[in-house]
């Protein structure tokens, strides 16, 4: 961004384009968590009882044999398969966040998970009766140190770095235990402040919309790390006045959600439109994102809508992938990234991208240098 400062410094975040990384902390999957045999056995037993036993209900000996050994075998096989395929389903990047920064990425999707060894960045979800299933990536403390080193390096004063913390997970405690823990969530923000504090952008006004500020104002005091948080993760912490003071722009906490969303306890500081396509069909993903882009840009022009539009150039694999289609996230990402530059060139040629009508974050799996080239092409266009 510093290299194009003369062009971009008067623009706000709705008037420029940044490269972004989906599940940015999964460049190095340090471990995978899959259902244990103990947790998987009831599920396999239920499946056998529901789908297999009715087919042989007239053969008592076969029913008896299917009720024991095959369940143990299927359970063990399920655990082994899950362990082997989980990295293919959850790894969305090939570089660490520090490496992504050096290659030009500036918007990072960070999903902290509390583990027995502290906070890590993770990609997965907590499933009923099975617990967390997914991949564990970078240690968050190390990631924050890498970000600090980049942010404070000579010549990087004008490099805006946006960290979007969401999907906060506790892999050890139940929801009730978390809600009763006075430090839950606050300890994460305390750690972020302890490392990035000197670089975290702050603001006195709790109602400020940082996405509408020109870059030169946003970076005016030498701070260049903007930390965004999803208020849904902190609902139980926003009831008391003391917690709300800690969780405010004055302390470097900016709330990120669609401004049109109602019933949120805190003001919107960063109006973000972020809707993924939830499909592995690449044609469907591109078509859906283009349609949504058209709809939001029409509102931007006709109703002076100010929001950061995230173009989600990402695929989503099903929880139960077909054994006939074992493409990994990275396999799909390589193909999707190859389609990004031709698509954006076509959008520019057809004036889908023109003036203030432009995607503000190009959000990808498998961030690589070529994504920055596409961003630079878009940012070179006049407003």
What are the pLDDT digits (tens) for 41-55? 665 566 556 555 555
- Mean pLDDT, to the nearest integer, of 98-126? 95
Least confident piece of the model among 67-81, 236-250, 283-297:
67-81
Which parts of the chain are beta strand (E)?
Answer: 18-21, 31-33, 107-110, 112-115, 118-127, 131-139, 161-165, 169-170, 225-229, 254-255, 272-274, 308-313, 361-364
What pTM, to 2 d.p., does this model score? 0.90
What are the pLDDT digits (tens) for 265-301? 899 999 999 999 999 999 999 999 999 999 999 999 9
> Nearest 5°: CA angle at 196, between 11 and 215?
5
With a CB cutoff of 8 Å and minimum separation 6, the contacts of 1 are: 8, 18, 106, 158, 159, 160, 215
- Mean pLDDT, to the nearest integer, of 310-314? 98
pLDDT > 90? residue 179: no
> How far is CA 43 from each of CA 37, 73, 347, rounded to the nearest angstrom?
10, 13, 48
What is the predicted pLDDT for the residue at 77? 55
**In the chain, what percentage of residues exceed pLDDT 70?**
83
Between 58 and 240, name the one with better pLDDT: 240
Q: For the chain, list the domains and their CATH numbers.
A: 2-29+91-379 (3.20.20.190), 37-85 (no CATH)
d(CA 360, CA 356): 10
Between 79 and 332, name the one with better pLDDT: 332
**C-alpha 94: how far from chain center:** 15
What is the predicted pLDDT for the residue at 258? 96
Tokens of 185: 């969530």
d(CA 23, CA 124): 10
d(CA 374, CA 341): 6
What are the pLDDT digits (tens) for 83-100? 667 788 889 999 999 999
What are the pLDDT digits (tens) for 363-382? 999 999 999 999 999 999 99
* Predicted confidence band of residue 63 (pLDDT cuts 50, 70, 90): very low
What is the predicted pLDDT for the residue at 181? 73
The answer to whether the beta carbons of residues 270 and 297 sit under 8 Å apart is: no
pLDDT > 70? residue 142: yes
Closest alpha carbon to 26 in 109, 85, 102, 133: 109
Between 183 and 351, name the one with better pLDDT: 351
Between 82 and 334, name the one with better pLDDT: 334
d(CA 244, CA 234): 10
Can you name the residues that pair with 361 across neighbouring β-strands? 18, 310
What are the pLDDT digits (tens) for 143-166? 999 999 999 999 999 999 999 999
Least confident piece of the model among 35-49, 61-75, 186-200:
61-75
d(CA 354, CA 296): 14
With a CB cutoff of 8 Å and minimum separation 6, the contacts of 139 are: 30, 117, 118, 119, 120, 121
What is the predicted pLDDT for the residue at 212? 97
- Mean pLDDT, to the nearest integer, of 210-220? 97
């Amino acid at each position: 961004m510093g290299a194009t400062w003369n062009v971009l410094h008067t623009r706000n975040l709705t008037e420029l384009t940044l490269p972004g990384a989906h599940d940015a902390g999964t460049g190095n999957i340090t471990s995978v968590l899959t259902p244990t045999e103990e947790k998987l056995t009831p599920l396999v037993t239920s499946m056998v009882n529901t789908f297999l036993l009715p087919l042989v209900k007239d053969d008592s000996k076969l029913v008896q044999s299917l009720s024991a050994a095959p369940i143990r075998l299927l359970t063990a096989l399920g655990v082994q398969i899950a362990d082997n395929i989980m990295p293919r389903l959850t790894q969305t990047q090939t570089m660490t966040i520090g490496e992504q920064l050096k290659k030009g990425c500036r918007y990072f999707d960070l999903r902290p998970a509390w583990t027995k060894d502290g906070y890590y960045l993770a990609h997965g979800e907590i499933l009923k009766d099975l617990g967390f299933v997914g991949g564990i990536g970078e240690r968050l403390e190390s990631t924050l140190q890498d970000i600090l080193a980049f942010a404070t390096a000579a010549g990087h004063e004008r490099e805006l770095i946006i960290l979007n913390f969401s999907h906060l997970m506790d892999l050890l405690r139940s929801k009730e235990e978390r809600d009763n823990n006075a430090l839950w969530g606050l300890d994460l923000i305390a750690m972020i402040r302890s490392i990035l504090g000197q670089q975290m952008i702050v603001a006195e006004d709790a109602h400020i919309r940082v996405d509408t500020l020109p870059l030169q104002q946003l970076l005016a005091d030498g701070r260049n790390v903007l930390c965004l948080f999803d208020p849904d993760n902190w609902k139980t912490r926003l009831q008391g006045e003391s917690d709300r003071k800690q969780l405010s722009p004055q302390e470097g906490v900016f709330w990120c959600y669609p401004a049109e969303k109602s019933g949120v306890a805190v003001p919107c500081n960063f109006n973000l439109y972020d809707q993924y396509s939830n499909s592995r069909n690449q044609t469907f993903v591109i078509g859906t994102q283009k349609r949504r882009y058209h709809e939001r840009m029409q509102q931007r022009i006709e109703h002076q809508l100010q929001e950061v539009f995230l173009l989600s150039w990402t695929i989503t694999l099903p929880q139960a992938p077909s054994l006939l289609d074992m493409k990994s996230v990275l396999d799909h990402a390589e193909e999707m990234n190859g389609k990004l530059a031709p698509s954006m060139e076509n959008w520019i040629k057809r004036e889908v991208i023109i003036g203030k009508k432009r995607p503000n974050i190009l959000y990808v799996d498998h961030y690589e240098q070529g994504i920055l080239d596409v961003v630079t092409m878009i940012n070179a266009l006049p407003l």
